[in-house]
Amino acid sequence: MSREFRRAMPLLPISMVMQLTELTARQIRYYEEHKLIEPARSEGNRRMFSLDDVDALLEIRELLDQGINMAGIKKVFDMRVNSSHVISSNKMAISDSELRAILREEMQQAQIMQKASIRQGDLSRFFQSKGE
Amino acid sequence: MSREFRRAMPLLPISMVMQLTELTARQIRYYEEHKLIEPARSEGNRRMFSLDDVDALLEIRELLDQGINMAGIKKVFDMRVNSSHVISSNKMAISDSELRAILREEMQQAQIMQKASIRQGDLSRFFQSKGE
DNA sequence: TTGATATGTTATTTTTCCTAACATGTAATT
DNA sequence: AATTACATGTTAGGAAAAATAACATATCAA
């Protein structure tokens, strides 16, 4: 399990994200509304943000500063997401086993993240021991 | 502006700490009452925990498991604190903008999380640990 | 048995966060 | 100049989370 996963763990309430990013709650929710971020939700429906989310928000701020609008920022983000895996697999630059490893990890993460913000549970499921 | 700062940043609400440590709110407050941890407070008086706090809580759990009581654990912690000298900077107030600068800088490094074992009660798996 | 310790439970109040609706400043368009 | 779209502010009302405090209880040692 990778550090990307850990950065994706939803830990922070909106109040903290507001302080860290200097954005208002209104802004943060608005960006979510436009699918620029998708923070997890607690059982009680509260947004829980990951460090990745904070990262994205800081970048949104920058891009807005540069005069780019919601749609533009979304495009930028989408391009980035697509460029990491699609390009390399298109070119068959990675082996089958590598590809399967990526998929397996992604599925694992998705599964775990579903529960991470929501339930009390076995923390050891979230992490692996040293041999990473 | 170092890792010590990051790990001492109060970011997490008690609900998240409960999940991460598998402790009840009652337990966490009890340990605070006995000065084993001193989480920060929000403007509205809510406890905000740092990764250092979570670390400490995981260790408290272990020590309790070993039959050590509050006083004993306090002693263990105090001894540790006394043996490292730069601790007082934990209480140093830093401004929001400084905090943001730190965060931004770290985000760009994209290496916040690092490997470690959970069994040691060490949350350095989330962040770069001191020894790196 | 008594007493201390750690934790559970419950009641009450305060704080935080949610959604939704309406308002506003600014820049672009007509 | 008027209109429109966009990003954000503001407010209201309600729900969830968390605070304190008090009382309850299981376990263990004396």
Confidence check: pLDDT of A48 > 60: yes
Three-state secondary-structure class, residue A80:
helix
Question: Is-contact A75 A85, C-beta < 8 A?
Answer: no
Which residues from chain B sit within 8 angstroms of residue A54, using beta carbons? 103, 107
pLDDT of residue B99: 55
Q: Do B107 and A54 touch (CB under 8 A)?
A: yes
The crossing angle, in degrees rounded to 10, of helices B70-82 and B51-65 is: 130
pLDDT tens per residue, range A3-34: 666 688 999 999 999 999 999 999 999 999 99
- Would you state the pLDDT for residue B122? 39
Phi and psi at residue B47, to the nearest 5°: -70, 135
SS3 B40: strand
Residue A53 clears pLDDT 80, i.e. is over it: yes
Q: Are B81 and B87 a contacting pair, CB within 8 Å?
A: yes
CA of B45 to C1' of C25 (A): 35
Q: Given a cut of 90, is residue B83 above it in pLDDT? A: no
Distance of CA B115 to the CA centre of its chain: 17
Q: How far is CA A30 from CA A7, A73, B53, B63, B129, in A?
A: 22, 13, 32, 45, 35
Question: Of the candidates A11, A121, A123, which has its C-beta nearest B12's C-beta?
Answer: A11
Local confidence band at B74 (pLDDT 50, 70, 90 cut-offs):
very high
How far apart are alpha carbons B101 and B83 in whole angstroms? 30
Strand D-proximal residues of A, range 5-64, CB below 7 A, are 13, 24, 26-27, 30-31, 34, 42-46, 64
Q: What would the mean pLDDT of B1-25 be, rounded to a whole number?
A: 88
Distance A45 CA to C28 C1' (A): 38
List, in order of start, the domains of chain A with CATH numbers: 3-76+83-125 (1.10.1660.10)
- Residue ranges of chain B whose CB lies within 8 Å of a chain A CB: 11-13, 15-16, 18-22, 42, 48, 96, 99-100, 103-104, 107, 110-119, 125-126
Residue A120 φ/ψ, nearest 5 degrees: -80, 140
Which whole number is the average pLDDT over B19-47? 97
Select from B54, B112, B116, B117 the least CA-distant residue to A50: B112
Q: How does residue A80 score in pLDDT terms, banded at 50, 70 and 90?
A: confident
For testing the chain B interface, which of A1, A4, A6, A118 should be mutated: the one with the most B CBs within 10 Å? A6
Is residue A17 classed exposed, middle or buried when 0-12, 13-18 and 19+ CB atoms within 10 A define those classes? Answer: buried
Q: Alpha-carbon distance A126 to B17, whole Å? A: 15
Distance from C-alpha of A17 to C-alpha of A28, rounded to nearest angstrom: 9
User: Does the C-beta of B14 come within 7 A of strand D?
Assistant: yes
Distance, CA of B67 to CA of A14 (rounded, Å): 38
